[in-house]
Amino acid sequence: MLRSFEAAARHLSFSRAAEELSVTHSAVSHQIKGLEEWLGCALFRRSGRAVHLTQAGERLLGPLTRAFDGMDDAVRAVTRMAADRAVVVSVEPAFAARWLVLRLDRFYQRHPNLRLHLVPTPEMVDLTKGDVDVAIRYGRGNWPGLKAEKIMGAAAFPVLSPALINKDTPLEKPDDLARFTLIHEDTTEDWAAWLKAAGAAAVDAGRGPIFDDGHLALEAATMGQGVALADEALAAAALQDGRLVRPFDLMLETSSAYYVVTAPASEARADVSAFCTWLLEEAHGPRPAG
């Protein structure tokens, strides 16, 4: 009723009010009649086909127009906030640099109106606080209260720059790694496990530099500083363009993998769901229909 009155009073025309509100002339007239009955006073004087405001109508118009304008401004502001809001993604730095960032152009091609805010961090953020919408984590997928979907496994294998392999330092069997510097991520345990599985007992797994970040370890390998252990997610691009080579097929199987993780509050958001769906399809291909 108030919308119909405000539009009709502003235009001094029931017909123009009906056009603005996308309703019929009779609907506007009925709404205003109901408002006049509820208020107990006339709001318009009708003179032939023209209408004029009564004193009560004039007193009501100004505050109503300001109120509706204020509500429209508030709705537009909230709509802009929602449109400008980015999906905040906490992601392990090496995965971000060596896998996710290389594919983001395809995400924006599919979802040009969505924005991502990537937060590279090795820390396991608390998704229930609402500051972060999605996390890409490395682990076993058992995070209570959270939804975790596997992106890909993380079986490790040796990689190095092809420039390191020559007639003076051949790399034909695992024992040949004794001639190379081993590059470690976080600990020497992974190299020890791979060498044991390969039967390379003569290679000292404890030597070589240790990096806290997998991306830095692979950059060191790319620059020819030694041999690193990598997984498909981190090494795929460098293997494809030839900056790294894989000398052996043996992989160190792990129980951990990369997961996309969400809390119930963010999982229901359409933009978060769109990102998670795209991420899993990038890793596995389109999901089956149904």
Neighbours of 150 (CB within 10 A): 13
User: Which pLDDT does position 224 carry in this prediction?
Assistant: 93
Least confident of 78-82, 87-91, 152-156, 193-197: 78-82
How far is the CA of 244 from the CAs of 102, 164, 227, in angstroms? 17, 10, 10
User: Which pLDDT does position 78 carry in this prediction?
Assistant: 53
Domain boundary assignment for the chain:
1-81, 87-152+256-284, 153-253
CATH class of the domain defined by 87-152+256-284: alpha beta
β-strand pairing of 116-120 with 210-211: unpaired
pLDDT band for 76, please (50, 70, 90 cuts).
low
Average pLDDT over residues 180-199: 93
Q: 234 by DSSP, 3-state: which?
A: helix
Instruction: Kindly report, residue by residue over 16-64, the tens digit of the pLDDT.
Output: 888 888 888 888 888 888 888 888 888 888 877 788 888 888 888 888 8
User: Which pLDDT does position 287 carry in this prediction?
Assistant: 57
β-strand pairing of 227-230 with 182-185: parallel
Residue type for position 182: L
User: Which pLDDT does position 57 carry in this prediction?
Assistant: 84
Mean pLDDT, all residues of the chain: 87
Structure tokens at 285: 């291909």
**Chain center to CA of 174:** 40
Residue type for position 284: H
Least confident of 86-90, 172-176, 191-195, 284-288: 284-288
Q: For residue 35, which phi and psi values (nearest 5 degrees)?
A: -65, -40
Q: Give the separation between CA 153 and CA 254, rounded to whole angstroms.
A: 8
pLDDT band for 191, please (50, 70, 90 cuts).
very high
Q: Per CATH, the architecture of 1-81 is what?
A: Orthogonal Bundle (1.10)
User: Which pLDDT does position 60 carry in this prediction?
Assistant: 83
C-beta separation of 130 from 269 below 8 A? no
Straight-line distance from the first to the last Cα atom of the chain, in angstroms, rounded to the nearest whole number: 45
Q: Which residue has the higher pLDDT, 146 or 288?
A: 146
C-beta separation of 219 from 211 below 8 A? no
User: Which pLDDT does position 107 carry in this prediction?
Assistant: 95
Please name which of 198, 212, 241, 205 lies closest in space to residue 226, comparing C-alpha atoms: 205
Q: Give the separation between CA 7 and CA 28, rounded to whole angstroms.
A: 9
User: Which pLDDT does position 39 carry in this prediction?
Assistant: 82
pLDDT band for 110, please (50, 70, 90 cuts).
very high
C-beta separation of 262 from 128 below 8 A? no
Structure tokens at 289: 């229909």
pLDDT at 288 over 70: no
User: Which pLDDT does position 121 carry in this prediction?
Assistant: 86
Q: Give the separation between CA 35 and CA 147, rounded to whole angstroms.
A: 51
Angle 178-179-184 (CA atoms, 0-180°, nearest 5)?
65
pLDDT band for 83, please (50, 70, 90 cuts).
very low
How far is the CA of 238 from the CAs of 163, 172, 174, 243, in angstroms? 14, 21, 22, 5
**Chain center to CA of 45:** 58
**Equal fold, 87-152+256-284 vs 153-253:** yes
CATH class of the domain defined by 153-253: alpha beta
Q: 46 by DSSP, 3-state: which?
A: strand
Residue type for position 153: G
Average pLDDT over residues 192-217: 92
pLDDT at 249 over 80: yes
User: Which pLDDT does position 112 carry in this prediction?
Assistant: 92
pLDDT at 128 over 80: yes
pLDDT band for 290, please (50, 70, 90 cuts).
very low
Share of the chain above pLDDT 90, in %: 43
pLDDT at 8 over 60: yes
pLDDT at 5 over 50: yes
User: Which pLDDT does position 74 carry in this prediction?
Assistant: 66
